[in-house]
Amino acid sequence: MLNIALTGNVAAGKSSVVRWFGRWGATIIDSDALVREAQRPGTETLGAIVRRFGPDVLRPDGSLDRAALRGKVLGDDDALAALNAIVHPAVRRRRAELVRQAAGRGERILINDIPLLFEVLDPDEFDLVVLVDAPVRTRKKRLVRRGLSADEADRLIAAQLPAHRKRSRSDIVIDNEGSLDDLKQAARRAWSKICELAAEGSQQ
C-alpha cells in the first residue's frame, strides 16, 4: 500500500484535490475529521483543552467553540504548541489505527489529508508527500471571500510554515494559481504519477 501525505497551506486548494483523489480511487484519512473526533464532548482531549484554555472555549451545549479557540492560539506560538501537544497524540493514534485497517483490507493508495504535516509531523513517516500550493496573495483573497477579515487571514497564513519551505521537501507539488479546471488537470497528472508508483510498489 502506498501511504501518502497530502498537505497544503490554508486556502491553497487542498480540499478539492482530496475530493478528486477520493473519486479516482484513493482511500482518504481526513485529519480534520480525526481532530473533531478527538475533541468531542466527554473526551479526555476536550477536557485537557478546557483546562488549558478556559471554559469560554465551550459552547453552551458543551461542544468546542472552534472560533473561540482559534482566537486564543492564532499569533501565540506557545498557545498553539500547547494545543498541538494536547490534540495531536490522540489524532496520531487514531490515524495509525486507520492505516493498519486500510492495509489489512488490501487498499492500494492511502491519502492522509494533513494540513499541518510539516508543522506537527515527520514527513518521512510517509511513502510520498504531495503539496498543493498557491501564492500568498491568492490565498488571502480566498480567505477574505470566505468571510475572514484581512487581519484574520494574515494571522491564519502566518501560523503555518511558508510554502517555499515545504516545496523542497515534497515529492509532488500541485500548483493552484489558475482556474478550478487548471487545478483539476494538475491533480490528474499527479494522480497518474501516484498510480504509477503504486503499481511499481506492488510489483516489488
3-state secondary structure the chain: CEEEEEEECCCCCHHHHHHHHHHCCCEEEEHHHHHHHHCCCCCHHHHHHHHHHCHHHECCCCCECHHHHHHHHCCCHHHHHHHHHHHHHHHHHHHHHHHHHHHHCCCCEEEEECCCHHHHCCHHHCCEEEEEECCHHHHHHHHHHCCCCHHHHHHHHHCCCCHHHHHCCCCEEEECCCCHHHHHHHHHHHHHHHHHHHHHHHHC
- The pLDDT value recorded for residue 167 is 96
- The pLDDT value recorded for residue 92 is 93
- The pLDDT value recorded for residue 120 is 86
- The pLDDT value recorded for residue 201 is 76
- The pLDDT value recorded for residue 129 is 98
- The pLDDT value recorded for residue 204 is 58
Query: Which residue ranges of the chain lie beneath pLDDT 50?
Result: none
Whether residue 161 contacts residue 117, with contact meaning beta carbons closer than 8 Å, is answered with: no
Q: How far apart are the first and last CA of the chain?
A: 12
- The pLDDT value recorded for residue 203 is 63
Q: Are strands 128-133 and 109-113 parallel, antiparallel or unpaired?
A: unpaired
- The pLDDT value recorded for residue 159 is 84
- The pLDDT value recorded for residue 74 is 83
- The pLDDT value recorded for residue 75 is 80
Whether residue 49 contacts residue 69, with contact meaning beta carbons closer than 8 Å, is answered with: yes
- Give the Cα separation of 8 and 136 in Å (integer): 12
Domains defined along the chain, listed by start: 2-198 (3.40.50.300)
